Amino acid sequence: MSKLSQACKAAVLAAGFLAAAGAAGAQEANVNDPHQWLEEVEGEEALDWVRARNAEAEAELANTPEFRQLKADLRAILDSDAKIPGVQKIGEYYYNFWKDAQHERGLWRRTTLEEYRKDEPAWETVLDLDALNAAEGENWVWHGANCLEPEYRRCLVALSRGGADADVTREFDLVEKDWVEGGFFREEAKGGMSWINQDTVYVFTDFGEGSMTESGYPRVLKQLSRGQSMDEAVTIYEGQADDMYIAGYRDLTPGYVRDFVSRTLAFYNDELYLRTDDGSLARVDAPNSANKSVFREWLALELREPWTVEGATYPAGSLIVTKFDDFMDGGRDFTVLFEPTERSSLAGFTVTRNHVVLNVLEDVKNSIVVLTPSDSGEWDRRPFGDQEGIGTLFVSAVDSDHSDAVWVTESGYLVPTTLSIADVSTDAPPQPLKSNPAFFDASTHEVEQHFATSEDGTRVPYFLVRPKDMPTDGSTPTLLYGYGGFEIPMLPGYSATVGKGWLEKGGAYVVANIRGGGEYGPRWHQAALKANRHKAYEDFAAVAKDLVATGVTSPEKLGIQGGSNGGLLMGNMLTQYPELFGAVVVQVPLLDMQRYHKLLAGASWMAEYGNPDKPEEWEFIRTFSPYHLYDPAKDYPPTLFTTSTRDDRVHPGHARKMMAKMMEGGEDVRYYENIEGGHGGAANNQQAAHMSALAYTFLWNQLND
């Protein structure tokens, strides 16, 4: 994927549901919601309520030696000096952002490749966030750096208060290892800043009234010169209020410098414009639903819908390429680099200096293919690497502008992650660089893949990590995890916290690859959009039923967990299938689907869930709005809600209001809200360990009564 496409996607994603039908009915229901006061994120009354709930949850879960030991074990894993320090090549150095017990907020540091190959590399600290916080009296959380090539001296560093999506941008000098006095600066907001040259940047942020979309993201793109105030910045593009996100970037690839404007209307619905020398914008006239990537001389389109052009039809899920300049001149001669089958999909691709490397999934197991353009106009292809068993092999470019080197990451549920480096222009095997230690004893477990049959007959895969000596009498405590949204696949990977917090205790762990995700490409995602959302929930229930039918577990021994869109999944499992589960953990969730589009970034998800203000759409949204599906006359399994005050993506009011409603109904519920943490739920390792220990302790206690 091109640097442009990665930047746009990162900006959007970092940025990227039975009352009477009708808007009048929805409005009346909102007015009569007795818990709406809990949406006041930092209101003193609401925070007093939060503190009281937190105290109750901690009194139940956190005051035992077992909890304290688990939390300490998880903290030790997160703080471990032995874990792989992932690096990014910036100029001649390899940069890493590192957190441990001594550096809770983290160090931005660098080394050379020669040093990095050593067991204990010598690191040079570039920026110490803990020291910065102490000096400035802040609680900054690292959001990344964008460094200007080819000198790679000046960087635009993004910092967030407490882990929120909103952040500030500050200019940093990598030679002086200090902030640039009077340098580029962006006030706290959702948005960003990107380089044009050393004295000019694109900025997309909150410029004042009318400059943000209804989703709370930038609507206006401006060009800012060094020394100018934001008021003096020149408007380049202005989107509509109901757009999702506007951004601008310069692709600085040597020999192929181009400027682009990205207009995201909704998830998987965007327009891309080339900014010409005279400042005018020329649209890249490809389908809005296609993911558009420009790299060197090529334009690549990942199609999410079938596209017929110049007499040729390319199916959804395909990756097609053509020469970018030819396309802009009207040419439509494409080469197909990937075409899906019923069982295969494209999980992504990376671009090196001379190659395109595909990550292909077949029944959620991946393989890597290296493609090379030839003089004849065709693309040669060959397999790369060898992934044995159930695991994930991931490849990413080291330096797409200058080399064919790639990072190769291998991981599995029971196999610690390893990192290697390879040159995809040769047949030489990858050279191992780093490996995580075994953070838990995996010798007692094994991994299997199974398929459940959903209500409509669809075959739904899932992974089962189980004790080798597991009886098939339904007695094994089992944790089932799912997400099922936004075309995000759930792939096998090593989770030390799952291993230490669950598997070592003797539990089984299951990941469900339900519709709504991306395991089988766009068709798998689109199968559970809007009015078809119920199919994702039917898939998850089918996996739960299959685990019981095969004797892995029983309803009273089956716990479930999910966050964000997965929190919505958990809410629907809780309210629609309560009889299937013994315990539920609902993390940073969406739950009130009547008001979700009015809270924080909620409006940006209407392409996924629908618009509750439209009577015909509220008719189906209300069927998967847990806040409205809750019925105090029913029996529900024990439940833990967790969220974060500083989550400015999914409003904490969802979890607060659901907790309050179920408390009133006398249900077996508890609640914990981290005051920091953003959408990830934790701003440092201590908080992350605490949140995980609460969830695992709750689940183990409930499933082993």
- In tens, the pLDDT along 189-208 reads 999 999 999 999 999 999 99
Asked whether residue 678 carries a pLDDT value surpassing 70, the answer given is no
Distance of alpha carbon 304 from alpha carbon 291, whole angstroms: 8
> Considering the entire predicted model, what is its pTM?
0.89
Three-state SS letters, 70-138: HHHHHHHHHHCCCCCCCCEEECCEEEEEEEECCEEEEEEEEECHHHHCCCCCCCEEEEEHHHHHHHHCC
Predicted confidence at residue 21, as pLDDT, reads 26
688: closest CA among 43, 60, 53, 104? Answer: 104
Task: Look at phi and psi of residue 487 and say left if phi exceeds 0, alpha if psi is from -120 to 50, else beta.
Answer: left
Indicate whether 9 pLDDT > 80.
no
Taking 60 as the threshold, does the pLDDT of residue 14 lie above it? no
Contact 422, 336 (CB under 8 A): no
Q: What percent of the chain has pLDDT over 70?
A: 94
Are 310 and 289 a contacting pair, CB within 8 Å? no
As a dihedral over the C-alpha atoms of residue 419, residue 424, residue 429, residue 434, rounded to 10 degrees, the angle is -10
**Confidence (pLDDT) at 680:** 59
Catalytic residues: 564, 679
| More confident: 185 or 13 | 185
Phi, psi of 623, deg, nearest 5: -80, -10
Residue 71 has pLDDT above 80, yes or no: yes
Side-chain-side CA neighbours of residue 474 (13 Å): 13
pLDDT of residue 682: 57
Q: Between residues 684 and 57, which one has the greater pLDDT?
A: 57
pLDDT at 387: 64
Q: What is the pLDDT of residue 683?
A: 56
Residue 617's pLDDT band, with cuts at 50, 70 and 90, is very high
Confidence category of residue 27, pLDDT binned at 50, 70, 90? very low
Statement: residue 37 has pLDDT above 90: yes
- Give the pLDDT of residue 5: 43
Q: What is the pLDDT of residue 684?
A: 74
pLDDT at 272: 98
Contact 539, 458 (CB under 8 A): yes
Tokens 């500030």 identify what position? 168
> Is the confidence at residue 2, as pLDDT, over 70?
no
Mean pLDDT of 374-382: 90
Q: How confident is the model at residue 681 (pLDDT cuts 50, 70, 90)?
A: low
Q: Are 267 and 607 in contact (CB under 8 A)?
A: yes
| Domains (range + CATH), the chain | 18-50+439-703 (3.40.50.1820), 92-148+151-251 (2.130.10.120)
pLDDT digits (tens, 9 = 90+) for 440-476: 999 999 999 999 999 999 999 999 999 999 999 999 9
Mean pLDDT of 694-702: 98
